[in-house]
């Protein structure tokens, strides 16, 4: 039945663990809408015939429906819409919660291409290689305008925003080649902003990685540019920890909540902080990124604007890795609320 409905609705192949569940929700919405629309249409035709005016002098009687009838006509659609919401919300939460064992891939969208950086592999342009049966998390940002990463066969679509990091994940079930599209109009070249996901068998993927690590650059999908970055082995958090040490961040920022030259990073992510001008800011991905690029723009109350700018010193994947590392520094009981002491101070200033 699944295959019959998929073909009737002209849906692409189901090539991820999400695809079948998303399509089931699609089938439920379409079939329910079709049945209810048909019922409403047939009822309207019946009323048109049964209660049509038979003479020029006939008047329409005033009808007072019973309470149970009103409840039926209002409650029945409400039940279906509520069911749609809970089914859809459950799938939304699942797609927004990557498993802890996911393989990280950094994605940058720009006019008009997709750039990929692997934590344990090479960089590429417009070609993403992943192993079948492996959870893959995409940490995405844009260099210019809003884009949207869309793979129809995987049933995943996620907006890619400038100055922010969004994420999505998938588990490809079938080896093959699948088209990447931009689903948000981004300019004159929007229609040519295409890429490809190549899903390999696990051993083939490991062989490909080993091939790249042997330095055969000619076999990569694209030569690295000045903005590209090939991180060492490890996930984004491990990379962020290493970069923080290499760049000297931990000489001024602590990770245990103690006060130092700069604010602590413990429990920093999503904390509300008071700035020197009296305004309040939330330490989200955009704020943390802006802090690295222009640290003097918004200085946290109680700290001096002595942190240098890392504009041009850190590549996009490095900034993303640092943000992921800061996000991982959460205590057992994260305190929510305005800053009241050194344990609440964010990244601003050094």
Pairing of strands 135-142, 166-171: antiparallel
Distance in angstroms (rounded) separating the CA atoms of residues 89 and 21: 12
Distance in angstroms (rounded) separating the CA atoms of residues 199 and 134: 10
Helix-helix angle 285-293:316-328, to 10 degrees: 130
- Which residues touch 21 (CB under 8 Å, ≥6 apart)? 91, 94
Q: Of 24, 163, 168, 32, give the one whose Cα is nearest residue 88.
A: 24
Q: Which CATH architecture has domain 103-219?
A: Sandwich (2.60)
The matching CATH number, chosen from 3.90.1720, 1.10.8, 1.10.3470, 1.10.287, for 2-95 is 1.10.287
pLDDT at 335: 44
pLDDT at 301: 86
- Show the low-confidence residues of the chain (pLDDT under 70): 120-121, 215-234, 332-350
pLDDT at 142: 92
Distance in angstroms (rounded) separating the CA atoms of residues 130 and 170: 10
pLDDT at 245: 87
Segment (H or E) for 110:
strand 103-110
- Which residues touch 221 (CB under 8 Å, ≥6 apart)? 122, 124, 125, 126, 127
**For the segment 133-144, what is each residue's pLDDT rounded down to a tens digit?**
999 999 999 989
pLDDT at 333: 53
pLDDT at 145: 93
Global confidence as pTM: 0.66
Give domain limits for the chain: 2-95, 103-219, 236-344
For residue 192, cis peptide bond before it (omega within 30 degrees of 0): no
- According to DSSP, residue 312 is labeled T
Domain 236-344 -> CATH class? mainly alpha
Which segments of 136-268 does DSSP mark as H helices, in order?
202-213, 236-246
Say yes or no: do domains 2-95 and 103-219 share a fold. no
Q: What are phi and psi of 110, to 5 degrees?
A: -155, 160
Identify whether the C-beta of residue 117 lies closer than 8 Å to the C-beta of residue 228: yes
pLDDT at 330: 86
The DSSP bridge partners found for residue 147 are: 160
pLDDT at 229: 39
Distance in angstroms (rounded) separating the CA atoms of residues 217 and 222: 9
Output b/e per residue, 234-243; b: 16+ Cβ within 10 A: ebbbbbbbbb
Distance in angstroms (rounded) separating the CA atoms of residues 25 and 92: 12
């Amino acid at each position: 039945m699944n295959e019959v409905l998929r073909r009737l609705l002209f849906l692409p192949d189901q090539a991820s663990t999400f695809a079948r569940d998303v399509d089931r929700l699609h089938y439920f919405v379409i079939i329910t809408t079709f049945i209810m629309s048909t019922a409403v249409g047939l009822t309207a035709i019946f009323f048109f015939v049964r209660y049509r005016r038979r003479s020029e002098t006939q008047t329409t009687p005033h009808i007072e429906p019973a309470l149970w009838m009103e409840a039926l006509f209002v409650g029945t659609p409400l039940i279906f819409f509520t069911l749609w919401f809970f089914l859809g919300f459950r799938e939304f939460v699942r797609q927004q919660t990557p498993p802890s064992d996911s393989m990280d891939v950094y994605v940058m969208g720009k006019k008009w291409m997709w750039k990929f950086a692997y934590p344990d592999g090479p960089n590429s342009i417009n070609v993403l290689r992943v192993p079948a049966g492996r959870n893959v998390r995409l940490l995405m940002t844009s260099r210019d305008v809003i884009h949207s990463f869309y793979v129809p066969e995987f049933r995943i679509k996620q907006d890619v925003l400038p100055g922010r990091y969004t994420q999505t994940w998938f588990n490809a079930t079938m080896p093959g080649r699948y088209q990447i599209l931009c689903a948000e109009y981004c300019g004159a070249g929007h229609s040519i902003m295409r890429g490809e996901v190549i899903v390999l068998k696990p051993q083939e993927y490991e062989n490909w990685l080993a091939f790249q690590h042997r330095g055969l650059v000619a076999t990569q999908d694209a030569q690295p540019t000045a903005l590209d970055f090939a991180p060492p082995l490890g996930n984004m958090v491990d990379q962020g920890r290493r970069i923080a040490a290499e760049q000297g961040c931990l000489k001024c920022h602590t990770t245990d909540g103690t006060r130092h030259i700069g604010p602590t990073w413990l429990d920093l992510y999503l904390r509300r902080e008071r700035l020197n001008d009296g305004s309040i800011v939330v330490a989200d991905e955009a704020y943390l990124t802006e802090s690295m690029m222009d640290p003097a723009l918004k200085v946290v109350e109680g700290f001096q604007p002595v942190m240098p700018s890392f504009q041009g010193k850190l590549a996009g994947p490095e900034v993303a890795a640092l943000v992921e590392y800061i996000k991982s520094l959460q205590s057992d009981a994260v305190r929510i609320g305005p800053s009241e002491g050194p344990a609440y101070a964010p990244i601003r200033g050094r």
